[in-house]
Amino acid sequence: MKPHNATDLFFVTEEAEAEMVAAGYEFEPPSHARTASIRELFGWQPGETLSEAVSRHLEKAGTGSGCKPRGEGV
């Protein structure tokens, strides 16, 4: 494999993948990785802040800590 500068962006092309597989690297995405939108996670609705959505979600789940939300909304 060719060395690269650590500050350069690195994209794994098919050619680079073939070199890495030949060198013993395995390509398996982590099983825990997942993306979700804030609508999916917290039931966020337009017009409310993320903090409001999180607080509402926690109240529904019965896990509210009693802490008040802070920070800026989305």
Helices (H), the chain: 14-22, 38-42, 50-61
Q: What is the pTM of this model?
A: 0.37
Q: List, for residues 7-26, the tens digit of each pLDDT value.
A: 666 677 888 888 988 999 88
Where residue 66 falls (left for φ over 0; alpha for ψ -120 to 50; beta otherwise) is left
Amino acid at 36: A
The residue with greater pLDDT, 36 or 32, is: 36
CA–CA distance, 46 with 43 (Å, rounded to integer): 10
Q: List, for residues 38-54, the tens digit of each pLDDT value.
A: 788 888 888 999 889 88
What percent of the chain is modeled with pLDDT above 70? 65
CB atoms within 10 A of CB 30: 6
What's the distance, Cα to Cα, between the start and end of the chain in Å? 44
